[in-house]
Structure 1
Amino acid sequence: MKLEHVNVTVRDPKATAALLCDLFDWQVRWEGESIHGGTSVHVGEAESYLALYTPPEAIQNAEISYYRAGGLNHIGVVVDDLDLIEGRVKAAGYEPKSHADYEPGRRFYFDGPDAVEYEVISYA
């Protein structure tokens, strides 16, 4: 068994998809109308992806996810070259934070669009 996808609600799925494709060399796998009259963009690789969803109504800000049952805490992305991706994150206007180097790998985090936190990890 494997994890196929994670579905995240965002304000602008096309813009978020474009950013993630630029940062991680991903591809848009599918986009179109989806559940509850919303729109989704699936972005990732052949075996796994993020489903970026927006409902037909305006999204309201919610409480911090780490303190809410069922909240999304972060999305972890494994990369070969951590320094390369950190450079891309900075160039895209996002601030890397919480750098750590402990078993089993090096990592940093950044808050992307809609305050979704991403953990970028290298096991190389």
Structure 2
Amino acid sequence: MTSELEHGNLTVTDPDATAAWLTQVFEWQVRWSGPALGGGYTVHVGNGSDYLALYRPAEPLRSGNDSYTQLGGLNHIGIRVDDLDATEARVRTAGFAPHSHADYEPGKRFYFHDADGVEFEVVAYDD
């Protein structure tokens, strides 16, 4: 049996704005948008096989603590790309600051935080 991650669901302040920079940086598409749980709003953005669901509840959002010290916290989302340098340029153009660059087995990576404080790891593997 083969299993794969189909989607993740994040709470964000502005699903449309987050989807806009995700489509720009990772060359994804908006797959669906509309009403969601409890009067909220969701945008699904990704490729043909997997996506991120970007959810905004009807009630105002509150910030949480550091995810690495919060039980059940989301620490980061890893995105694999073919061209790390081109993706990093798009991350900078979107207004985010790449950090923690590293070469490691089996590739290279960097991280950045979006406007909601979600950390993304971008990785390219050596082929």
In the TM superposition, structure 1's runs of 4+ consecutive aligned residues that sit over 6 Å from their partners are none
2:10: which partner in 1?
8
- The counterpart of 1:59, out of the listed 58, 61, 72, is 61
* 1:34 Cα offset (Å): 0.8
* 1:82 Cα offset (Å): 0.2
| Length-normalised TM-score, structure 2 | 0.95
1:36: which partner in 2?
38
| Length-normalised TM-score, structure 1 | 0.98
Q: Whole-Å Cα distance in 1 between the matches of residues 114 and 106 of structure 2? A: 24
More deviation, 88-97/21-30:
88-97
Q: Whole-Å Cα distance in 2 between the matches of residues 38 and 50 of structure 1? A: 16
1:108: which partner in 2?
110
The one-letter amino acid of 1:39's match is: Y
* 1:121 Cα offset (Å): 0.4
The Cα RMSD (Å) is 0.7
- The counterpart of 2:48, out of the listed 42, 46, 49, is 46
User: 3-state SS of the aligned residue for 1:115?
Assistant: coil
* 1:70 Cα offset (Å): 0.5
The one-letter amino acid of 1:60's match is: R
* 1:35 Cα offset (Å): 1.1
The one-letter amino acid of 2:20's match is: A
* 1:37 Cα offset (Å): 1.4
Identity between Structure 1 and Structure 2 (%): 57
Structure 1 unaligned blocks of 5 or more: none
The one-letter amino acid of 1:111's match is: H
Q: Whole-Å Cα distance in 2 between the matches of residues 91 and 31 of structure 1? A: 25
The one-letter amino acid of 2:8's match is: V
User: 3-state SS of the aligned residue for 2:116?
Assistant: helix
1:22: which partner in 2?
24
Q: Whole-Å Cα distance in 2 between the matches of residues 31 and 57 of structure 1? A: 18
User: 3-state SS of the aligned residue for 1:113?
Assistant: coil
Aligned length: 124
2:124: which partner in 1?
122
